[in-house]
Structures are given as C-alpha cells and as structure tokens.
Chains A and B, each alone.
Chain A
Amino acid sequence: MPGPLALAIWYVGIVLEIAFVVCSIARKSFFRYLFLNTYFLLGLGSDAARYYFLSRFGQSSGEYCYAYFYTDALLTLALYIALISLYARVFGELRFNRHVRFGAALLLLGTALFSYAVVAQSEKRLTTDFAYELSQNLYFVGLVLTYILWGAVLKLRETRTRLVQFILALGLYFSAYAACYALTNLSSRYSVVQYMSGAIGCLLPLTWTFTMLRHTEESRLEPARLLAVAR
C-alpha cells in the first residue's frame, strides 16, 4: 500500500472530483460541461478500480500495473475530449465545430499511430507500453493544444469568465504535469517528487470547482485585462 501522505493526497483528489460534479449539478451546468463532468466521473471510476486492484493484489503486482496504466490512458483520452469540447465552445460561434471535431479525431489517430510505432519494436509488454506511450504523448499534445486555445481566446477576445478560467486551469495542470514528469526523470531519488504528481492531480478539480462556485455562466470579464504585456 502507498504511504499515508500519498493516500491522503489520493483521498483529497477524490473529494475534489466529487465536489466538481456536485457543484456543476447544483449550478445546473452538468450538461453544459458534460465532457468535463464525464472526465471526473471516469476519474472516480478509475480510483475505485485502482483501489480494488491495490488492496487485492498489492502495489507491485502486475494486475495493479495493468489497471493503473490502462485507466491512466483512458483518463488522458477523456481529458483530451474535454479539451476538444472547450475548443468547440470557443469556436462554436464561428461555426468551426465540424472542422474542430475532424481535426481532433485526426490528431488523436496520429498520436495513437505514433505511440504504436514507438512501442512496436519492443515485444515484451506491448499493450502496457502502448498505454503508457499514448498517455504521455497525449499529455504533450494536450499542452500544445491548450496553448493554442489560449492564443485563440486572446485573439477572439473571449469574455466568458468560466470558459477562460477552465482553459487557464487546464494550461496550469498540463504544464505542471510536464514539469513533474521532467523532474521525475531528473531527480527521482528525492521522495518529494513522488508526491508531486498526486498533488498536481488535485489542481484541476480544485481550480475548476472554484470557478464553478465563484462564477455563473453569465459572468464576463474584460478581455484586454487578460493580456500580460508590460506597456
């Protein structure tokens, strides 16, 4: 079993995921942000599955390893779809939705093919390697897509506070995760790095719940104030 701190971070994450779903139901925005809610509901399902395999087979078992990497790949895919739903909302008024969906499907297929090409050489554990590779590559694609979406938000002078804050929180999450992955490769011997990814996992439900609680769908902000430029 993981240590008490890792378990505590895991429980906090679960509570925050539930909080987001409850808040969006209470604010009558569940279907408006259906894909964001689906991501957290899948997250809760993954937590339950991981806990089952962890308590039954132990942390170092192959079963837990399979469960962890497959649920991780599924969650990354769900987050990718949630990101595309934010794209659809930003570009919705420009009637680009069909192009956005087509582009997203093409990019996903390209990422899956690239991930397969990378792991195809290794014969051992091809399926888990593929799940890990796909997850890692989708995180990178997600970071780049969020950056592009943020550029579009600024260019289109988006004013919807909730939408802007959801996108920024996603950008924060993706960049923090990428930094954490890199730091793990650089200095995995420090125990603090092991807890960082769990803590970063709490960041997204925390910021999104905060946005859901604090702002209504009608809240607007001045787009000019979002540009962080020293004049």
Chain B
Amino acid sequence: MMAALIFAVSVVTLLMFFVSYCRSLTAASSSYALSKEVRDVTGIHAFASGRDFARVMQLLQLCPERPQDRLGLRAVAYYFEILNLLQKTLARLTPSIQSWAEQERAGCANFAVVALDRRIAFSREILAQQGEL
C-alpha cells in the first residue's frame, strides 16, 4: 500500500518535472530569430503552430544530426505526444486546457524549427569545411 502511494506520488512529480524541463527547453528557443532559409523551407514566418510539428520533424531527418540537439528533440517529441493525448482526452472537457495545450504544441513546433535552423547552419559549415579540403 505504502509502496503504491510512493509510486503514485513520484510518478506525479516525475511528470511535473518532465513538463517543466520540456518547457525550459522550448522557452530557451522562444526568442530565437529564424534565418531566411528556414523561413523559406518551412513556410513559417514568425511563430510555428502545433500542426507544423510533424512536418518540421520530417525535415529535420533530412539534415545531418547535431549531437547537441538529440536529447532535447527526443524529450520535446515525447512532450508533444503527451500534449496530443491531453488534447484528445481531458482538453475536450475544459476549454482552458485546450488553449493551453495548443500553445504548448506551438512551443514544441517552434523548438523543432529552431533545431532545423541550427542543423541547416551546421550542414553549411560541414560543406564549407569539405570545400576547403
């Protein structure tokens, strides 16, 4: 009984820290100014919406990976799935959760766009280095 209670409490705190951790990841990329290339490629000019996430993730797979991005992208992708689940279940009953979840999904998409921008810049650097050789 006690172990079940500790398990339940720690899962709740785990979820809370996970959400906050993902929010700190997406918040860090909120003030990033997108380059012209990434705006042209994605068609996103100011701020991404939740619907853009899957498309941007596909574009990300076309670029060479940056080791610095891997963990953050994976964590944000899980967070996005949790938000999707929330939208399909609890958010249908509460409009405030619906709008909050949509805002969060947009934050996730923006994080992915910033990662794409960095990967494009990284690819350019690699190409430039190869050109020098």
Contacts and interface: CB of A to CB of B under 8 A. Distances in A.
Q: Which of B3, B10, B17, B28 has the most CB of A within 10 A?
A: B17
Interface in B35-89: 67-68, 71-72
B20 to A, nearest CB: 5
Nearest to A144: B13
Nearest to A159: B27
A214 B72 CA distance: 9
A43 interface: no
B96 A172 contact: no
Contacts of B100: 229-231
B133 interface: no
A148 B31 CA distance: 28
Is the contact region of chain B dominated by helix, strand, or loop, or is it mixed?
helix
Interface stretch (A71-79, A111-119, A182-190): A182-190
Contacts of B72: 210, 214
Contacts of B97: 230
Contacts of B28: 161, 215, 219, 221
A179 B14 contact: yes
Given A182-B3, A182-B4, A185-B3, A210 B71 contact: yes
B126 interface: no
Interface of B: 3-4, 6-7, 9-11, 13-14, 16-21, 23-28, 30-31, 67-68, 71-72, 94, 96-97, 99-101, 107
